Amino acid sequence: MKLDLTLNGRAVSDDVRPDLTLLEFLREHGCLSVKQGCGTANCGLCTVLLDDVPVLSCSVLAVRANGRAVVTLEGLQEEASAFVGFLADQGADQCGFCNPGMVMNTIALLRENPDPSDDEIRAYLAGNLCRCSGYEGQLRGIRAYLDSRKE
Mean residue pLDDT of the chain comes to: 89
Neighbouring C-alpha atoms within 13 Å toward the C-beta of 79: 17
pLDDT of residue 19: 97
What are the chain's domains?
A: 2-74 (3.10.20.30), 76-150 (1.10.150.120)
As a whole number of angstroms, the distance between CA 49 and CA 54 comes to 4
Please tell me the pTM assigned to this model.
0.90
Mean pLDDT of the region 21-26: 98
Above pLDDT 90, what percent of the chain? 53
Exposure string for 90-115, b = 16+ CB within 10 A, e = fewer: bebbeeebbbbbbbbbbbbbbeeeee
pLDDT tens for residues 27-78?
Answer: 999 999 999 888 788 888 899 999 999 999 999 999 999 999 999 999 999 9
More confident residue, 25 or 42: 25
What pLDDT, on the 0 to 100 scale, is given for residue 72?
A: 97
